Structures are given as C-alpha cells and as structure tokens.
C-alpha cells in the first residue's frame, strides 16, 4: 500500500470509530443520530462539489461531544486529509477572546466600561468623522469621546477603512485597502499599538453611539489590554486565558512544529468552486513565516475546533470551566445581552459585548432566544445556546467564501435535536 493510501486509510478508520462514539453520545444527549447524519451528507457534498476543501464541525451539549467530524482535505493539492486537530485561521473569532480579556480587566478595576479610549491611546482624544456626502473631504469633530463600551459593541463609528470616501486615507496609513480586506495585520513589522495609535489620527465613518459599524474596534481593545495589563496580548492570552483553559493550539503565529496541521486557504470563484488562494494578505497570510510582531485582537488568532469549543464552554458555564474561573457569571451575562437596542441587524437581533445575540425565535434561523455567537472572515462560525446548553463550532478555510454550509450549519444541528431542554 502506498504511503498516501495508508495515510488516508488510517484517517478514515479513525473517523469511523469517532463517528460510532459520537453517535452513541448524541443519542444520550437528545440528538437523533440519523438526523445528525444529514450534516455529514451536507459537509461531504460541499467537498465533493468543490465548494469547500474540507471542514471540522463540533457540537457539545452539557460539555459532552455529541458531534465531531473532519471531512475533506486540509491541503487538497497535497492530498492531506482533514483531521479534528487541524489548525485554522479564525480571524474575527479572535474578538471573543479579546472581549473576555477586557472584561477580566474591568472586573479587576484596571479598566472601566465608561473609560474614554484616549486614556490608553492618546491619539483618540480628538477624533473626527468623514462626511459620506462630501466624499470624505469634510471632517467633523466627534460629538463625544469614544469609550471602551463603544468599542465592545462596535458603536464607535470605526470601520475597516475600505469605504470609498475614506479608503485613500487609510491606505496611506497602511490600513484599509492596504491591509488585505481591511482587518489584516499579520504582515506588519510593528506592534499592534503602533498601528492603532496611527488609526486614531484617521477619520471614522459615524458618530460614536449612533450606528453599528464593524471595524478595528477590537484591535484597539487589544492595545488597551496590553497597556492596562503591561503584557503583550499574546502573553496575556497565554497566561490568563488559553493556558489556564488548556487551549494548546490557540496562538497568533504558528508553532513551526505544527506546520503540518495548518489548513490551506481556498478562494471561492464566481461559480462557487474553490481554488487555492495566493500567499498574500488575502490568502495564506503570514501566520507561519511573518514578522510575528502584530498581535491583532480583532482578527489575528489560529485555533482548532476543540480549543475554541473549550473557550465557548467556559462562557456557557458562566465564566468557569473545570475549576478555572476567568469571569464572573454577571460579566458573561452582560456580554451576551443586547447592548445596542435596534442598531444591529434586523428585527429580533442584537449585539452584546463581543457577540451578536438572538432576541426573538426566528430572527436568526433556528437559534434559541439568548443564543450568541459570531464568525470569522475565513468562513468559520460558532454559536452558544444557553437554553439548550449547546456549543456549536464549524471551522472552514475559504476567503472569500461562497459556500452556504456556514449558514445552514446551525439548522442541521437544531433539526437533529429531538429532546430539547
């Protein structure tokens, strides 16, 4: 048997054994294994139709694994099979860890939610807002200071600088169009605080508190964590979050010993089929061979489905996991509660301190009222459902992504849940 055939054979045997174990566990936790198999089919169809190269899906109920599958290829061209411990670029899923870090420092009295961000980044003392109507030529002073709470809720008026009326200014500062799709900083040979200090001199796109605007908010918060704690963000995460929780594969830049586990990025073409992405900021990125200096709290981490589910389980359990407490239950409750009224999304949706929230059944598919979650630019997504005691993680590696499995993933999970609560 050739080496590649042996490798694939071992992987398939492992997945078959895992499927048997999780099938038994799912039945014990209120899931119909036959219905869960619909997710197997959907994931495999995505691979077979070349909409995705591969994926890892993981579902926990009450902290127990009820579904775990790795399908397709971590590297399609090299025929390297996907495995449950594959490492993914999680982009904006990083925001949840940074938001938790901020709340840990709030609990310790080092930061207040009402603090102006200028306390930590002086260039934000006098911010301006560009006029859309005047193609950005007119800059109006911000009517009030941007606060930590504004950044956590994405209501500071700060975008990724890719709008046409500010793009040129951001590009000249190495941000916006000069940073991949706007959020990418892994190629920067400077600390993230240097980049965020420069951001404070640029015009924003809405007045603080008046709109929900997705952008560099959490990258700024990562700098706040660094300056309030005296630790680089990677070290803060390692000492205070990932280390205590045993998240050994969650880091900003790849450990060289794990190179064979890093998944390849694919790009969706106009017809939906994928091709291998290039090596730049809009493709494979600089997570393995970059400068390793920019620890971006908004979109910089690598992780695995298992690591990220561990982090989410901590939140589901009110800030603690297996004797390790990161936050108080009240802080987690605050984070998962809508703080922006009707500024975010459509009717029945909200946004807390780092997550979108479901306020009405049906407003976000099948998710229960109180469910919170988010996703990443590489098409990964996650949900935490306190009502059903569920953690759901889907890891993909498409940038940009046209595959619909990300949107359908929670539906496949909920339709298999036949014994709610």
Taking residues 20-45, report their average pLDDT. Answer: 86
For residue 28, pLDDT over 80 is answered with: no
pLDDT tens readout for residues 396-409: 999 999 999 999 99
Alpha-carbon distance of 58 to 40, in angstroms, equals: 12
What is the distance, to the nearest Å, from the Cα of residue 412 to the centroid of all Cα atoms in its chain? 21
**What pLDDT was estimated at residue 1?**
44
What pLDDT digit, counting tens, does each position of 265-306 carry? Answer: 999 999 999 999 999 999 999 999 999 999 999 999 999 999
End-to-end CA distance of the chain: 48
Picking from 262, 231, 230, the residue whose alpha carbon sits closest to that of residue 249 is 262
Task: For residues 103 and 96, give the distance between their C-alpha atoms in angstroms, rounded to a whole number.
Answer: 11
Q: What is the pLDDT of residue 17?
A: 47
Between 21-25, 35-39, 202-206, 387-391, the lowest mean confidence (pLDDT) is in 21-25
Omega before residue 400 within 30° of 0, cis? yes
Q: Does domain 3-88+248-255+305-415 have CATH number 3.20.20.150?
A: no
Per-residue pLDDT tens digits for 330-356: 999 999 999 999 999 999 999 999 999
Q: Give the pair of three-digit tokens for residue 63.
A: 């902290």
Backbone angles phi, psi at 30, to 5 degrees: 95, 10
Q: What angle do CA 122, 105, 237 make, to 5 degrees?
A: 95
Q: Specify the pTM.
A: 0.94
Tell me if 354 sits within 8 A of 99, measured CB to CB. yes
Rounded Cα–Cα distance for residues 85 and 175 (Å): 33
Q: Pick from 91, 74, 14, 114: which is nearest to 308 by CA?
A: 91
* Residue ranges per structural domain of the chain: 3-88+248-255+305-415
| Tally of helices (H runs) and strands (E runs) in the chain | 12, 16
111-168 pLDDT tens trace: 999 999 999 999 999 999 999 999 889 999 999 999 999 999 999 999 999 999 999 9
């Amino acid at each position: 048997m050739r080496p590649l055939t042996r490798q694939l054979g071992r992987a398939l045997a492992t997945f078959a054994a895992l499927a048997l174990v999780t099938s038994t566990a799912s039945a014990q936790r209120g899931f119909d294994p036959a219905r869960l198999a619909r997710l197997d089919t959907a994931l495999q169809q995505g691979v077979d139709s070349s909409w995705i190269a591969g994926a890892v899906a993981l579902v926990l109920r009450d902290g127990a694994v009820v579904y775990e599958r790795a399908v397709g290829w971590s590297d399609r061209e090299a025929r390297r099979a996907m495995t449950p411990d594959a490492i993914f670029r999680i982009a904006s899923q990083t925001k949840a860890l940074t938001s938790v870090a901020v709340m840990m420092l709030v609990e310790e009295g080092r930061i207040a939610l009402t603090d102006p961000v200028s306390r930590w980044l002086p260039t934000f003392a006098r911010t301006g807002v560009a006029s859309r109507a005047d193609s950005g030529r007119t800059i109006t002073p911000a009517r009030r200071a941007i606060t930590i709470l504004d950044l956590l809720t994405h209501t500071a008026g700060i975008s990724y600088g890719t709008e046409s009326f500010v793009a040129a200014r951001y590009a000249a500062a190495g941000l916006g169009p000069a940073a991949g799709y706007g959020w990418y900083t892994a190629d920067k040979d400077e600390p993230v605080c240097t980049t965020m200090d420069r951001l404070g001199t640029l015009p924003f796109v809405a007045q603080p508190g008046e709109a929900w605007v997705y952008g560099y908010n959490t990258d700024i918060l990562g700098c706040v964590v660094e300056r309030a704690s005296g630790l680089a963000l990677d070290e803060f995460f390692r000492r205070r979050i990932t280390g205590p929780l045993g998240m050994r594969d969650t880091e900003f830049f790849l450990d060289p010993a794990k190179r064979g586990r890093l998944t390849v990025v694919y790009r969706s073409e106009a017809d939906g089929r994928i091709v291998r992405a290039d090596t730049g900021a809009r493709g494979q990125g600089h997570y393995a061979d970059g400068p390793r200096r920019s620890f971006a709290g908004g979109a910089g981490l690598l992780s695995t489905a298992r690591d990220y589910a561990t982090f989410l389980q901590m939140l589901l359990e009110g800030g603690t996991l297996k004797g390790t407490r990161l936050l108080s239950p009240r802080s987690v409750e605050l984070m998962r509660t809508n703080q922006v009224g009707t500024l975010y999304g459509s009717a029945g949706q909200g946004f807390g301190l780092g997550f979108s929230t479901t306020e009405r059944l049906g407003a976000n598919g099948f998710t229960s009222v109180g469910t919170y979650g988010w996703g990443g630019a590489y098409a990964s997504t996650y949900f935490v459902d306190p009502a059903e005691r569920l953690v759901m993680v889907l890891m993909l590696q498409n940038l940009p992504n046209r595959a619909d499995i990300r949107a359908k993933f929670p539906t496949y999970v909920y339709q298999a849940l036949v014994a709610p609560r």
